[in-house]
A and B are shown apart, each in its own frame.
Chain A
Amino acid sequence: MRTLGVAAVAVLAGLATFAHSSEAKAAGELTLCWAAWDPANALVELSKDFEKQTGTTMKFEFTPWPNFTDRILNELNSGGKLCDLLIGDSQWLGGSAENGYYVKLNDFFAKEGISMDDFAPATVYAYSTWPKGTPNYWALPAMGDANAWVYRKDWFAKPEIQAAFKEKTGRDLAPPKTWDELKEVAEFFQGREIDGNTVYGAAIFTERASEGITMGATSALYSYGFKYENTPGKYDMEGAVNSPDAIAGLEKYKEIYKCCTPPGYTDSYMGEGLDAFKSGQVAMMMNWFAFWPGLYKDENVGGDKIGFFVNPGQKVNASTLGGQGISVVANTDNMEGALAYIKWFAQADVQKKWWSLGGYACHNAVLNDPAFKDSQPFAADFLTAMGGVQDFWQEPAYASLLQAMQKRLHDYVVADQGTAKEALDKLIEDWTEVFEDEGKL
């Protein structure tokens, strides 16, 4: 038996050597990994310039959002060599920095004269630094993003609808400023006949598997004054996570889910929301800024028919943060090429073109341009939203923290189990366990 064991190890070692030797990537080739969504297509267009300038062949691996986190974190943890460049979510920074999956970019920035002061401070904080707020950079802000809303401007403008709304609520129909108003408007549209079709109030995030319902519900929670900790950095969650404000926010989110979403939107995220909005089923839709350029161009619901509004406040004005920075994967075989791409991407001209193609550049040359606010109908909203963004835990244990929240929220909102208070209480238990395992509590 012992000999067999030794032989088995020998066989494996041989195979491994073979595997290593057979896996060499062509030089001058870069693979960039990101989520499969509108901005990624824009980046393909943008990168054609880089290919022309450097002769590099760009390959792209785009994964739909519901699978993106799972798949890429799996890839990073497995030490795979799929991605040279990665546009990864802000919450991955902690883990990826501590485990050495990303290349630390400080020296490179210094050498190439790339200054983080050229980028909007909120985006540098969120997409580049770990530990948070320290000048340790693991990524270049690539794509600013936050959760916001679109509505059917053409429906809101119909006189008969305005009249009916006024009659029902006593106020004028307008894009909602608070979550109470949002619910009122959604309820008003739910089940109404418009142009011969039955329409519904709002499409919101309810997805279970990855991050959907958390991103959706936190949009309400943050506005109601939800906080992760009483004292930042102390992990004292009792009374913050389950504060009366947080409970009220979560209850409101569930009310909107119950009253005003289209049938079957029990597990829906960005894609399902877009489908609902584009097919003319809903009056309002929650989604990321990233989609607004594409929607504005849409031949059915774009142009004059679409309006945009920032996530409504309730007690505070706040939006759930999206967006990503671009990092170099430490395992890459083409470090030089990957860094050259970042250097190229950081240029002000490229950043301007990036915005014009539909990517949300974070460069001050774009954002501070006086013409920026009027360059797109949603540009001003974007600046407002980025002024009040809040993000989920960026801890290295973020995946466990997120999974716990997904479960507790979906159990309460969609599966109708327990109360909002119970859901948040259980969430504190789950999170406490995670932080205890981490040695932080």
Chain B
Amino acid sequence: MRELLNPIFWEPFGLTIKLAFITTLFLYLVGIPIAYYLAYTKFRFRAVLEAIIAMPLVLPPSVLGFYFLLAFSQNGFLGALWKDLFGHQLAFHFDGLVIGSIIFSLPFMVHPLLSGFKAMDKFQIEAAHTMGKGKFQTLLKVILPAIKSSLATGGVISFAHTVGEFGVVLMIGGNIDGETKVASIAIYNEVEALNYSMAHSYSLILFAFSFAILWLVYVKLGNEVKGSFHA
């Protein structure tokens, strides 16, 4: 019990929540335009774009993580660019985890939003257009408020999915205290070190936390969210 009072013990959780929060925030910024574009624009290579977005659903996280590692290291394209801009590479850094998580959780944000956009009454959109409102204003004032349950679903699922991430983080983040050691990695560490009581503590807290989130989602959003985990 003594370890629960140690701030070091809680550090991975703090990092996990921070990562999930920032990832979800960016996913809204990225996911809304992508889902909007997919829902309302006709173009030739739609299937290609949809397949790319859905890839993280089927690829083993280690495959994604491996390619991220190549791209994020200082020899990689993104890592080199990042180093020029911010003075550090992306691999083994919190920023890298954020970018990796955004891509990894993208389908969990885009799919609920896409079904929200598609189910949206198109006459309301047209009505706003006849009222002289441009596309951006219509999106902000008419469409997003109308699909707020999809927004909530996308946010909660992306958040939960980021909390539960392991493979990608392990590949690109390594295991740096306070930088990349999130809760799921901490558990792995403790098990490796045969420190089962610590592993238990971490696991149980993560277990309870995940359950609480999902329970809240099902109570609040009910049917809207069901099935979205397999989206």
Q: Do A and B come from one complex?
A: no
Interface residues of B (CB under 8 A from A): none
- The chain A residues found within 8 Å of chain B, CB to CB, are none
